[in-house]
Homo-oligomer: A and B are copies of this chain.
Amino acid sequence: MTVLVFLDPSRPAGRLADASAAQLLVTDQGVIRGDGVFESMLYTAGAVRKLDAHLSRLRGSAASCDLDLPGEQSWRAAIATAVARYDQERTADPEDPDEAVVKLIATRGPEDQPHGTAWVTVSPAPESGRRQRTEGVAVVLLDRGYDSSLAERAPWLLQGAKTLSYAVNMAALRHAHTLGAEDVIFTSSDGRVLEGPTSTVLLATRVNGVKQLVTPMVETGILPGTTQGAIFAAAEAAGWTLGYGPLEPADLFDADAVWLVSSLRLLAPVTSIDGTPISRDRALGTELAALLEAVG
Contact = CB atoms under 8 A, between A and B. Distances in A.
Interface in A9-56: 19-36, 38
Interface in A114-153: 119, 121, 142-147, 150, 153
B19 A26 contact: yes
A171 B160 CA distance: 13
A165 interface: yes
A103 interface: yes
B105 A32 contact: yes
Chain A interface main SS type: mixed
Interface residues of A, number: 56
Interface string A153-179: 111111001011111111110110000
A19 B24 CA distance: 10
A2 B22 contact: no
A119 B28 CA distance: 14
Contact of A156 (B25, B171, B189): B171
A166 B27 contact: no
Contacts of A189: 146-147, 150, 189
A65 interface: yes
A155 to B, nearest CB: 7
